[in-house]
Structure 1
Amino acid sequence: MPQNLDAPAVRVWCARALDALGRERDGIDAINVYPVADGDTGTNLYLTLESAAQAVEAVFAAHETGASSPGVADAARAMAHGALIGARGNSGTILAQLLRGVAERVGEGDRLAGALRRAADLAREAVAHPVEGTILTVASAAADAAARAAGDDAGAARAAYDGAAAALEATPDQLAVLGRAGVVDAGGRGLLAVLGALVEAVSGQAPAPLPAPARGTAVTTGPCAADGPAFEVIYLLEAADEAVAGLRSRLDALGDSLVVVGGDGLWNVHVHVDDAGAAVEAGVEAGRPYRIRITHFDGAQPAAHLPEPVQRAVVVVVPGEGLAEVCGRAGATTVLARPGEPPASGELVDAIRRAHAREVVLLPNAAELRHPAAAAAEQARTEGIRVALVPTRAAVQGIAALAVHEPGRRFDEDVVAMTAAAGATRYAELTVAERQSWTSAGICQAGDVLGLIDGDVAVIGTDLTATATAVLDRMLAAGGELVTLVLGEALPEPAAFPARLERHVRDTYLAVDTVVYEGGRGSALLLIGVE
């Protein structure tokens, strides 16, 4: 096992941390009394790490196709970026900033002790009003202990863990609400689990497990609005760095628990407010907010304001804003998957809840979302929602499934029909190669147009129209009745290009119809479906 942090160790760290938080999430949720006793800190930390783990695995998968290996800087940046886009709650947002600090220093060649120092300082700077006895205190103690340790990263990690454990035990004496409840800080407990995974990743030996968090009898959850702001607002924000200072000031005046993390044009904003609309409007003035999540702290809207649940709904993941509009008009609840930012299971669970239906059909539309979608479906089932997962692997398969959806049918019959329609749809994608690489169709060069059929490179060309035509011919050689074209925002000649493909299909395959959709921002260059 490595004694210093390298790329494989980052991968192990991320996986072990996710496992640890998975084991401890319920116990951490149970001791969550600060800043709001809403019992979700363990879950939020888990979902944040889940997004980080997906990003790290994606980096390793990308390098495997080119027979190379990522460096430690690449792996650490992926972990931090994944945590940033998937950060949930107050502690999850702070954890994302801690990981960003680690990635910054590791990317500069610094050792782990220096990285932990930067992480603690950066996280403290991100919180509008830092409070001692919280995850910030535990992070600072870990960094202080690591700085005093001599030797390699393994020694720094062990010292950081020991320092964090001691600081965690002292949190009830620093924060009165913890002392009254008889618990340690939930966010700090979660960070300790992450540091324990770091020890195992760089040394090969896990630290001795701590006893399960003990829940004090004074803990209460589900506070009413009188205990503090009524809403938690979280969103990702594309904004220039100079616009964020003004955003911080405005949000600080609106509420509390303000944490703004990130940088280089992408930020994760977390705040507790009474006026959720004003918090979102502040983001609109600063830049472009998206993935907006607004949670009422009593766990639900007042019953008088809840619509009656519908019998059945469809939740669909789409890779472009245009497709989100198309599916939304068809009545589906949509989840936008941006390039390199696949939604985690928590976001899918949120969408299932948002559909507000007794029965839900989930269309993930990507092979890599199979496991997160299955986890989301299982979670929703524990909440009494009947969920069926149709294993669609591309957006065009989801469109085909949605086209045959009939809410009036029996649930099982509807799922079977949608599954059959998706399975009968072959899918392809056109993209541009970023570098020279070996593919199943031969060697491609940077700038070549690649035609992928059912996930594998089948055609390599230099001309977009010629490559698309070759892909269509291969797909229609086995027969077909309908061709679906989804046009990406970056497609050149957005009017002439699809017209040429439609004409080719009409002239060559007389009985085949063509339908064209605008994929919009975030969509692939061209998606093709053949039913």
Structure 2
Amino acid sequence: MLRTLNAATARRWADLVLSALTAERDAIDRINVYPVADGDTGTNLLQTVRAAVRTLDEAAPDTLGGVLGALSKGALGGACGNSGMLLSQAIRGIAEQLRDAETADGAAWREALRRADELARQAVAEPQEGTLLSVLRAAVRGAEGSGELGEVVRTSTRAAIDALAATPAQLPVLSEAGVVDAGGRGLVILLDALHAVVREGEWLAPNSPVPGEADHLEHESSFSYEVMYLLADTDAGRAEALRGRLAELGDCVSVVGDGLDSWAVHVHCDDIGGAIETGIESGRVHRIKVTRFADQQAAYAREVAVLACVPGEVLGEIFAAEGADVLVTDALPVPAELREAFAGTGAGHVVVLPNDLDTALVVERAVTDMSEGPEVVVVPTASSVQGLAALAVHDPHRRRASDQVAMAEAAAATRRGELYVADVEALTWVGRCRPGDILGLIDGEVVLIGEDLTTTAQELLTRMLTTGGELFTALIGDNTPPDLLGELSAHLRRVHPEVEMASYPAGALDSLLLVGIE
């Protein structure tokens, strides 16, 4: 158990929050009934944290205060929705309290939570109980009287979990829908992630993200639009006055600052022009975003999908039989094609198996360029055998962050082997090859040069099994000699009878044979 927080542990906390919100975004979206049933609280929280982590990556600070300051700056600049605004202020409060700190013990973290609570409540014109604010206040009270960091984090997180469970009793709309507050659930994830960091992987909240799910999201705002913008060239006095004027135009008003010279503004209203003009009177308005609530609806037919990129219809049928959606990539795909495939799954959360190193780069670029659509996570698979290994351990009912880790670990634990016929003379790691030679590759590197296909294949298999293995998977291409698989099977029974073997037809392959050991 950690006794203090430092830059490295704070960074780990931020990464874990991002991972957990990525995994539970859809579940939080589905219980979003207050202040408007627009199904986007999980998305807004995720986008806010993603912006915070992106700023942290760019700044790369090496002190605790620097890490928290970067997170605060990014969260404010990328805050989305009312929940994102409040979360950005909670992060700002923590950052302000620990601005000059190299480390933070239990007492320091207790004060940081208190400052987070103060700023979050100051951000809104009319604080409402039964929301993220109630959960944060409970965390502050839960931390009182605790000593060491581990105890402070445990008692505050436990108090937040209990407060989240009580939110339906504080807001009738939550009780009617049978759910807890969505923003409060997001805050519990943030606090519980810190608990997991401080107490070495122990989570307090249950795996199930919420005790209930809204069957009928009927709570609607009395206003038609959500208006958000950033405000510069102003001060605290004018920002406070703006908060009051916006409260006359609508509700869910928040005007939050970074403690320096930037403010983020949020309001639900009917008079879009009035909300923006009021901001212009207070400073310089930029990055305006207007959303009509009537346009927002449940966008996804299912929660999660696994999308496998495969080189051919035959291999695609294998992945489809294992439950994956398939994108056949006879040539290297382009980002637009990938984004269309992400959306085509109909899922709010898409796990991509690129199954090729070059394809993986294009997938990463496609994800980076996305401004809307489903949440996409890439599991690094360099070949189809690694993709099959990852798919075999996929469990849609598991906590998503844990499922993605399990899939990535399964892929990484699968060594891939390939057999090619050299078509030109070349210098390799193990010597010079000539046209017609048989090349044996392990994890992309040439390790064998032979003249006989069967002998080289057997030696490749033997080398791959020197580090152990329980399952040998072979993908048989159209140009694989028909008797090769039988000879390899007999060889495996002689030298490694304990290893199981599975084989699949793979259609057109670049190699003579593609194998995996896991």
Shorter-chain TM-score bucket reads: 0.5 to 0.7
Alpha-carbon contact 1:260-1:268 (below 8 Å) kept: yes
Secondary structure in 2 aligned to 1:133?
Answer: coil
Looking at structure 2, the residues matched to 371 and 382 of structure 1 have their Cα atoms a distance apart, in angstroms, of: 14
> Are 1:86 and 2:82 an aligned pair?
no
Partner of 2:114: 117
> Are 1:132 and 2:129 an aligned pair?
yes
Alignment of 1:117-516 (within 5 A): 117-151=114-148, 153-210=149-206, 211-216=208-213, 218-220=215-217, 223=220, 227-238=221-232, 239-262=234-257, 263-299=259-295, 374-375=366-367
Alpha-carbon contact 1:31-1:214 (below 8 Å) kept: no
Alpha-carbon contact 1:30-1:215 (below 8 Å) kept: no
Letter in 2 for 1:75: V
Alpha-carbon contact 1:222-1:298 (below 8 Å) kept: no
Partner of 1:99: 91
Looking at structure 1, the residues matched to 98 and 362 of structure 2 have their Cα atoms a distance apart, in angstroms, of: 32
Looking at structure 1, the residues matched to 236 and 374 of structure 2 have their Cα atoms a distance apart, in angstroms, of: 42
Q: Deviations over 1:295-345 (max 9, x none)?
A: 0001269xxxxxxxxxxxxxxxxxxxxxxxxxxxxxxxxxxxxxxxxxxxx
Looking at structure 1, the residues matched to 72 and 364 of structure 2 have their Cα atoms a distance apart, in angstroms, of: 19
Once superposed, which parts of structure 1, at least 4 consecutive aligned residues long, lie more than 6 Å away? 369-372
Secondary structure in 2 aligned to 1:148?
Answer: coil
Looking at structure 1, the residues matched to 363 and 42 of structure 2 have their Cα atoms a distance apart, in angstroms, of: 20
Q: Which moved more, 1:93-102 or 1:242-251?
A: 242-251
Q: Which moved more, 1:196-205 or 1:166-175?
A: 196-205
Deviation, 1:122, is 1.2
Decide whether aligned partners of structure 1 residues 7 and 36 sit closer, same or farther in structure 2, where only a CA change above 3 A counts: same
Looking at structure 2, the residues matched to 120 and 219 of structure 1 have their Cα atoms a distance apart, in angstroms, of: 32
Deviation, 1:55, is 1.3
Letter in 2 for 1:234: M
Structure 1 residue runs of 5 or longer lacking an equivalent are 64-69, 302-348, 354-368, 384-531
Alpha-carbon contact 1:2-1:9 (below 8 Å) kept: no
Alpha-carbon contact 1:236-1:291 (below 8 Å) kept: yes
Alpha-carbon contact 1:165-1:192 (below 8 Å) kept: yes
Looking at structure 2, the residues matched to 250 and 370 of structure 1 have their Cα atoms a distance apart, in angstroms, of: 47
Secondary structure in 2 aligned to 1:298?
Answer: helix
Partner of 1:8: 8
Alpha-carbon contact 2:85-2:254 (below 8 Å) kept: yes
Looking at structure 1, the residues matched to 59 and 374 of structure 2 have their Cα atoms a distance apart, in angstroms, of: 33
Deviation, 1:293, is 0.7
Decide whether aligned partners of structure 1 residues 133 and 381 sit closer, same or farther in structure 2, where only a CA change above 3 A counts: closer
TM-score, scaled relative to structure 2: 0.56
Q: Deviations over 1:446-483 (max 9, x none)?
A: xxxxxxxxxxxxxxxxxxxxxxxxxxxxxxxxxxxxxx
Looking at structure 2, the residues matched to 144 and 29 of structure 1 have their Cα atoms a distance apart, in angstroms, of: 28
Secondary structure in 1 aligned to 2:281?
Answer: helix
Alpha-carbon contact 2:55-2:71 (below 8 Å) kept: yes
Partner of 2:66: 74
Deviation, 1:380, is 5.1
TM-score, scaled relative to structure 1: 0.54
Alpha-carbon contact 1:38-1:222 (below 8 Å) kept: no
Secondary structure in 1 aligned to 2:295?
Answer: coil
Deviation, 1:222, is 8.6
Q: Deviations over 1:191-221 (max 9, x none)?
A: 0001111112333233144123244455316
Letter in 2 for 1:188: G
Decide whether aligned partners of structure 1 residues 379 and 97 sit closer, same or farther in structure 2, where only a CA change above 3 A counts: closer
Deviation, 1:372, is 8.0
Q: Identical aligned pairs, as a percentage?
A: 42
Alpha-carbon contact 2:125-2:244 (below 8 Å) kept: no
Number of residues of Structure 1 aligned to a counterpart in Structure 2: 306
Partner of 1:416: none
Alpha-carbon contact 1:222-1:297 (below 8 Å) kept: no
Deviation, 1:121, is 1.4
Partner of 2:36: 36
Secondary structure in 2 aligned to 1:189?
Answer: helix
Looking at structure 2, the residues matched to 188 and 93 of structure 1 have their Cα atoms a distance apart, in angstroms, of: 13
